[in-house]
A = this chain, B = another copy of it.
Amino acid sequence: MSVLLKHPERFMPKALANPTICIDQVDTGYIETLIGYNARRAALAVIEVFLQRLAPYKLRPVDFSVASLIVHNPGITSRQLCSTLGILPPNLVGLINMLQKRGLICKRPHPSDGRANGLHATATGIALLRAAETAATAVEDDVANNLTLAERKTLLRLLKKVYL
């Protein structure tokens, strides 16, 4: 009940708001033409499965991305992780500390920049990430089971064309 509009009928011309009509099947025609809408829905669908299947490794998508990049880029800095993944530095601090507390990564002084730390995966971290990447790839195979291999390659190529 609106407390602002004392005369809501002013905004309800009969041609626009017929009270006798109700919607059986929602028409999503327009918003489904939008890349942004579809990309977001697809991403959320994948993330939902991802969260379940990577729960044993206690890695959310961001944790996984960061840890995976450290494994594949030994010596990478926080700053490089931030610009690569679009994370803001303050929001990466806790994540890095968590990975370190879990013994998955460690910090070493940067060879040429005293301000920075080189991030390195530990043996434990490498082993965990190997298993986690296998699980993540399985998730992909799962959510993409309605796509042929060619379609999947096409999808990745077209998505990169949007954001790169």
> Which residue of chain B is the closest to A139 with respect to CB atoms?
B36
Cβ contact within 8 Å between B42 and A159 = yes
Interface residue? A84 (CB, 8 A): yes
Distance between Cα atoms of A4 and B120 in the complex (Å): 17
CB-CB < 8 A to A108: which residues of B?
A: 12, 17, 19
The count of residues in chain A whose C-beta lies closer than 8 Å to any C-beta of chain B is: 89
Cβ contact within 8 Å between A33 and B156 = yes
**Which A residues fall within an 8 A CB radius of B?**
2, 4-5, 8, 11-13, 16-23, 26-47, 50, 61, 65, 68-69, 72-77, 80, 84, 86, 100-101, 103, 106-113, 118, 120-124, 126, 133, 136-137, 139-140, 143-144, 146-147, 151-152, 154-156, 158-163
